[in-house]
A and B are shown apart, each in its own frame.
Chain A
Amino acid sequence: MDSQQETQALLGISLAIANTLDTKAMLRHVAMRIVRSTDIESVAVFQTRDSHSELLESPRLVLAVPKSHRYLSSCQRSMIDLMEKDADWSAEDSPLGPLYWSQKEFTMKVFRLPGFGYICLGEPANKLSEYFWEGFCKVSEQLAVAASGCYAHQGLKLKQTMDRVQLSHSDLFSSSKALNFEGTVRSFLKETQTLFQADWLVFFKRDYQGKVSINNAIGDFTGLSVNWLSKLIPAIQPELRDGNQVLIIQSSESDRMEPLQATLHSNAIETVCICPVSNGPNGASIGFALCLWRSSFRHELSDFGILQGLGFFLWNLLNRHNQHRTIQKYQAELEARSRESEDSASRAAEANATKSRFVAIVSHEVRTALAGMLSSLELLSDTRLDHAQRSRVSQMMRFTDHVNEIMSDVIDLAAIEEGKFNFFYSQVAIREFFFELQELLRDQASERGNTLSFVIDEGIPDYVIVDSVRTRQLVLNLLSNSLKVTRDGLVTLSVDLEPVPGSLRESLHIVVQDDGPGLPENLLNRVFQPFVKHNFSRELSAAGAGLGLAIVEALITNMGGKITLENREPVGAIASLWMPFQPTEQGPSSARVYAKNSAPIRGSIDLAGDGALSGRRILLVDDDDDVREAAQDTLRLIGCNVTCARNGKEAVQQALTSSFDLILMDCRMPEMNGFDATLEIKKRLGRERAPVVVALTAAVMQDETEVCYEAGMDDVLAKPYSRPKLRELLHSWLDPE
């Protein structure tokens, strides 16, 4: 044989090494080059060491070219003999060189691939020279290095791919709204099956008794009979007793238990891999994944670790699934409770709305009756009465006022609770505002021998933007309380500027001090709660239903302010109110107007006839005969020329046919209500020609007041109204100067 040609052939083989990182593909490429460039007819490669260069129990066939290698079985047997009997040759430190053995039919040459295994070459003609075989020793060294490298790389690549598959399914499982456990496991098994080129991969889950049956299997076992699987599972069970290590059983192995072998043979299964599904070698197994091949196990030994990871991943998935189910259960309970709570809230809201409607209706009826009573009492007091009779009438009028105040408080509280409370801000001349309050309370103070003192800080701006009506209500409430509990003492109101505590918001800091008995300690914390009555003071206890301070606190809180109430040494109480406001630089031309459509307060007016109102034509509209008659008498007494109507329809007719200076219009009436009648009158006569329309309403919930203005009414007079209040209103519209 030409040594040059042999050198060229060896070089060609050498150049074919490491053309790819796939171990089998690389070895196959080299084997094909060998058989195509020499008269070597067959090549077989055996692996004897794993990726850590540890010796395997028996050589594993990695490659046979051709697959129909006619001496392959002899070759395999010889390899086993070689490893068992010729330990010296297989040792790493033995000299390199081929080991020959010949049988009748063929000559086989074996070369060691250090750190990997052996390569067996069949050359029947025996034409190749010693020179070639020596050269091939060197080639085999290169091949060994390349094969070991490819093997390590391949293991890493498989692991990376498996990691990717696990990660993607973990994400899939987490991102799925319903956490589709079975779907995820099926998909995962399918991809893993493809990765390991297995014919079947099925996950068997243990039931609560720890048993495994085909009923608890997930995966595609099409092509495997249920009967066969039913036989296989018990045959596998004993193998799992040893622990949680991955087991690979080849049906051709002689030392494995026979029943399992027989079962495998019966369905032409060559290899079984059992991966316990557990959280580690010492954890309890919750099932196992069964991997079946019709051929020998084609993978590397390092893949065992990856298969172990497969079991752990399934365990993790199942664990997460169980946790999710628990969470779902709690969530369902929580949702049920939440629904119950919502239902309760809904029922409460409904009850509250019913209560508000009840309050509105009752207040309307009570106020209507009170209006009649007040008018009648006022008319009675105008008649000739002796001292005792006049005293009784006065007493009855005070009781009427008291009932009216309670009704007002109840309505306010209902509005606050319902969240229907709105504020109407306007520009107010604040010094004049307080001056008028002081004038208003002067008589009340003197009745109990009290001195009422107002101290307004010079730094207070002349004009501020506040809700004048509510501010007046708040301050009056505090002052009124102090005046009621104090006898022969001093009640002081001081106003300066101070931010609302806990914020930087500028406010009117209004402080009311008195020399009264102060508040009992046990009430200090509850004083702003509704219906908490101050029974230490007979006057105060009798004066209300315990709603005043609750309303004050609710109002000021809604305005963004704050109120505190405390005792002061040695006697008395201090109420501090922080009322937020918007400063304004310049006031209106008339500082007397401080609320929408509200008439200015003029103080006390005589009960006798009023020249300014004399002869003024008033249309009085009310369906209640008693109320209408009482009001008619009052208006006549004032000096007005009164025409009556019993409902809206009559009112429209009267307004269109006669001329009036002002219409006092009840709101709720049969046939046509006050709102529609007002709209009709304003529409028919035009806004310029139409007389002033003032609503007379016992329904003074805030949203109803709004409806009055929306219907075109110019003002609202709440029932019951006193004669001075009526006169005051008439003056404000008919004699504004």
Chain B
Amino acid sequence: MLFTAHGNDYAPRDLTTTLKTCPVTVFGASYPGLINKGKMHLTGAIVVTFDCPAYTRVFDLGNLEDSDLTDKHFGNELNQSKSSLATIIIADTFCVALDSLLECFFENWGGRSACLGAAAGTSQTAQQNAVYSSDGAQSNAAIMVMMPTALKTGSSHGFRSRSRTVRVTAARGDVIKSLDTRPAAEVYAELVSEFAGITVTEHTLHHIAPAFPLGVTVLGRKPLLRDVVAVTEDGGLRVLSRVEVGIFLRVFSFEPRDLIEASRMNIANLGSVRNSTKDVGIVFECISRREVLGDDFEGELQVIAEGQRLVGGITGGELEFSGAGYPEFLNKTLTIGYLSACSPTEEGLGG
């Protein structure tokens, strides 16, 4: 499994040649930054090797079909395996069909396989060939990897809410058109104002919204956070990931210490249930946590450093699924997964 930093600025052709000529199955992605031993690196690469076979499949997310994710595409050996299954899904941040991919995954593998994943790529607006496989580097794609090994996962965000609840009354894709039958942007500004005493305008939204994500209530689980990214022309709100009509939302906010504490708890809880000290932990830290934590981000990294053998990347979105419930696409979350029987190596990590 390959993690590379966007700052490496690899020539796409060289990268593809390297990946294609790699003698073992390779998968991975490029990230805005890498995390290793409690530090963030803007250049360099991390390689994680596994002792078990890895079945990989790259999806062109422009033409995804439900049947693409059925058993027959992942080999008889895997299907007949009695051991636990681990799935890693890494997708291009700019893919619009990530929700469909997760839905297909849940329908076909839900209850059978734990999953960890991330939306990789650059934080800049330009799309790049961020997803790696033995076929080369690709954009607008996702790679799904299945391995006959155990995977323990956990996630946390630490955001809290005391706002009132509003219902989505009109939505299409990732745009919430109305909340409680009123224009969504207007209601959102009202909620933020009530909640934090801050006035949100069209011009200030970009600066204020990262600190006030919307949260979806899920009974018996942590609320799902949805970053607000823009106001549409008709007064709607564009958010990260699909939102459906009929669900209830609240505005969330944070205290830096709460976020760091949530991460600490997450890492501690998962560290206690991992199978072996040889297990390697993979961490995906949402890039917006770095933005909202600012100087306190060092504290978050310190917490990560306390975890055992944790390596990973800064991401545009995260995925964590223990096998129960539904694998939602996450925002503003720190996700961790411990995979059995794997060993990391380092290569040229710089500051």
Interface window among A38-46, A293-301, A424-432, A669-677: A38-46
Residues of B within 8 A of A37 (CB): 217-219, 247
CB–CB B219/A68 < 8 A: no
Question: In angstroms, how far is the closest chain B Cβ from the Cβ of A120?
Answer: 14
CB–CB A5/B219 < 8 A: yes
Name the CB-closest residue of B to A7: B248
- Pick the most buried of B220, B247, B248: most chain A CB atoms within 10 A of its CB: B220
The CA of A591 and the CA of B112, in the complex, are separated in Å by 121
- Residue-wise, chain A 40-70 has the 8 Å CB interface mask toward B (1 for contact) of 0110000000000000000000000111111
CB–CB A8/B220 < 8 A: no
Q: Does A153 contact B (CB under 8 A)?
A: no
Question: In angstroms, how far is the closest chain B Cβ from the Cβ of A485?
Answer: 106
Q: Does A456 contact B (CB under 8 A)?
A: no
Q: Does A6 contact B (CB under 8 A)?
A: yes
Known: A66-B107, A67-B107, A68-B109. A128 touches B248 (CB 8 A): no
Q: Does B348 contact A (CB under 8 A)?
A: no
CB–CB B109/A11 < 8 A: no
CB–CB A42/B111 < 8 A: yes
Name the CB-closest residue of B to A5: B217
Q: Does A127 contact B (CB under 8 A)?
A: yes
Taking CB atoms and an 8 Å cut-off, the chain A residues in 1-58 that contact chain B are: 1, 4-6, 8-9, 11-12, 15-16, 32-33, 35-39, 41-42
The CA of A39 and the CA of B326, in the complex, are separated in Å by 8
Taking CB atoms and an 8 Å cut-off, the chain A residues in 58-105 that contact chain B are: 65-70
CB–CB A66/B109 < 8 A: yes
Known: A9-B219, A35-B326, A36-B326. A41 touches B111 (CB 8 A): yes
CB–CB A38/B219 < 8 A: yes
Known: A66-B111, A67-B108, A70-B112. A39 touches B246 (CB 8 A): no
> Which listed residue, A1, A33, A66, A127, touches B246 by the CB 8 Å rule?
A33
> Which listed residue, A4, A11, A41, touches B324 by the CB 8 Å rule?
A41
Known: A11-B246, A33-B246, A39-B325. A69 touches B219 (CB 8 A): no
The CA of A35 and the CA of B321, in the complex, are separated in Å by 13
Q: Does B65 contact A (CB under 8 A)?
A: no
The CA of A37 and the CA of B328, in the complex, are separated in Å by 11
CB–CB A68/B108 < 8 A: yes
- Residue-wise, chain B 74-108 has the 8 Å CB interface mask toward A (1 for contact) of 00000000000000000000000000000100111
Residues of B within 8 A of A128 (CB): 219-220
The CA of A638 and the CA of B248, in the complex, are separated in Å by 136
The CA of A571 and the CA of B264, in the complex, are separated in Å by 145
> Which listed residue, B111, B167, B217, B219, touches A70 by the CB 8 Å rule?
B111
Residues of B within 8 A of A132 (CB): 219
CB–CB A65/B107 < 8 A: yes
CB–CB B218/A66 < 8 A: no
The CA of A38 and the CA of B221, in the complex, are separated in Å by 7
- Pick the most buried of A41, A42, A125: most chain B CB atoms within 10 A of its CB: A41
Q: Does A281 contact B (CB under 8 A)?
A: no
Q: Does B346 contact A (CB under 8 A)?
A: no
The CA of A650 and the CA of B72, in the complex, are separated in Å by 110
- Residue-wise, chain A 684-698 has the 8 Å CB interface mask toward B (1 for contact) of 000000000000000
Known: A12-B247, A33-B244, A68-B112. A38 touches B218 (CB 8 A): yes
Name the CB-closest residue of B to A66: B110
Residues of A within 8 A of B103 (CB): 32
Residues of B within 8 A of A12 (CB): 246-248
Name the CB-closest residue of A to B168: A12
Residues of B within 8 A of A243 (CB): none
- Residue-wise, chain B 142-179 has the 8 Å CB interface mask toward A (1 for contact) of 00000000000000000000000101000000000000
Residues of B within 8 A of A1 (CB): 219-220
CB–CB A8/B165 < 8 A: yes
CB–CB B217/A9 < 8 A: yes
The CA of A648 and the CA of B111, in the complex, are separated in Å by 119
The CA of A125 and the CA of B108, in the complex, are separated in Å by 22
Q: Does B196 contact A (CB under 8 A)?
A: no
The CA of A41 and the CA of B107, in the complex, are separated in Å by 11
Question: In angstroms, how far is the closest chain A Cβ from the Cβ of B95?
Answer: 20
> Which listed residue, A8, A33, A38, A69, touches B111 by the CB 8 Å rule?
A69
Taking CB atoms and an 8 Å cut-off, the chain A residues in 670-725 that contact chain B are: none
Taking CB atoms and an 8 Å cut-off, the chain B residues in 239-288 that contact chain A are: 244-248
Residues of A within 8 A of B245 (CB): 15
CB–CB B220/A68 < 8 A: no
- Pick the most buried of A4, A36, A38, A128: most chain B CB atoms within 10 A of its CB: A36
Question: In angstroms, how far is the closest chain B Cβ from the Cβ of A372?
Answer: 106
The CA of A70 and the CA of B244, in the complex, are separated in Å by 27
The CA of A257 and the CA of B165, in the complex, are separated in Å by 60
CB–CB B110/A8 < 8 A: no
Q: Does A609 contact B (CB under 8 A)?
A: no
The CA of A15 and the CA of B248, in the complex, are separated in Å by 12
CB–CB A35/B325 < 8 A: yes
Name the CB-closest residue of A to B328: A36
- Pick the most buried of B110, B217, B218, B326: most chain A CB atoms within 10 A of its CB: B326
Q: Does A305 contact B (CB under 8 A)?
A: no
Name the CB-closest residue of A to B322: A41
Name the CB-closest residue of A to B218: A37
Name the CB-closest residue of A to B109: A68
Name the CB-closest residue of A to B217: A5
The CA of A640 and the CA of B219, in the complex, are separated in Å by 141
Name the CB-closest residue of A to B216: A37
Name the CB-closest residue of A to B110: A66
Q: Does A615 contact B (CB under 8 A)?
A: no
Known: A8-B248, A15-B245, A37-B247. A68 touches B110 (CB 8 A): yes
The CA of A69 and the CA of B103, in the complex, are separated in Å by 14
- Residue-wise, chain A 605-636 has the 8 Å CB interface mask toward B (1 for contact) of 00000000000000000000000000000000
CB–CB A39/B324 < 8 A: yes
Residues of A within 8 A of B247 (CB): 12, 37
The CA of A39 and the CA of B221, in the complex, are separated in Å by 7
Residues of B within 8 A of A11 (CB): 167, 246, 248
CB–CB A125/B220 < 8 A: yes
The CA of A37 and the CA of B165, in the complex, are separated in Å by 15
Question: In angstroms, how far is the closest chain A Cβ from the Cβ of B105?
Answer: 9
Residues of B within 8 A of A68 (CB): 107-112
Q: Does A124 contact B (CB under 8 A)?
A: yes
Question: In angstroms, how far is the closest chain B Cβ from the Cβ of A252?
Answer: 19
- Residue-wise, chain B 190-232 has the 8 Å CB interface mask toward A (1 for contact) of 0000000000000000000000000001111100000000000
CB–CB A127/B107 < 8 A: no
Question: In angstroms, how far is the closest chain B Cβ from the Cβ of A470?
Answer: 91
> Which listed residue, B106, B107, B246, touches A15 by the CB 8 Å rule?
B246
The CA of A33 and the CA of B108, in the complex, are separated in Å by 17
The CA of A386 and the CA of B193, in the complex, are separated in Å by 159
Name the CB-closest residue of A to B245: A15
- Residue-wise, chain A 504-533 has the 8 Å CB interface mask toward B (1 for contact) of 000000000000000000000000000000
> Which listed residue, B109, B217, B219, B325, touches A41 by the CB 8 Å rule?
B325
Known: A8-B248, A35-B325, A39-B324. A66 touches B108 (CB 8 A): yes
Name the CB-closest residue of A to B324: A41
Residues of A within 8 A of B218 (CB): 36-39
Name the CB-closest residue of B to A123: B220
Question: In angstroms, how far is the closest chain B Cβ from the Cβ of A703?
Answer: 83
Name the CB-closest residue of A to B223: A5
Known: A16-B246, A33-B246, A39-B325. A6 touches B219 (CB 8 A): yes
The CA of A4 and the CA of B246, in the complex, are separated in Å by 15
Residues of B within 8 A of A65 (CB): 107, 110
The CA of A132 and the CA of B219, in the complex, are separated in Å by 10
Name 15 A/B residue pairs within 8 A (Cβ), A-sorted.
A5-B219, A5-B248, A8-B248, A11-B167, A11-B248, A12-B246, A16-B246, A32-B103, A35-B106, A36-B328, A41-B110, A66-B108, A66-B110, A70-B111, A127-B220
A residues with a Cβ closer than 8 A to B are: 1, 4-6, 8-9, 11-12, 15-16, 32-33, 35-39, 41-42, 65-70, 124-125, 127-128, 132
- Closest A-B pairs by Cβ, 8 of them: A39-B220, A66-B110, A15-B246, A127-B220, A38-B219, A8-B248, A41-B324, A70-B111
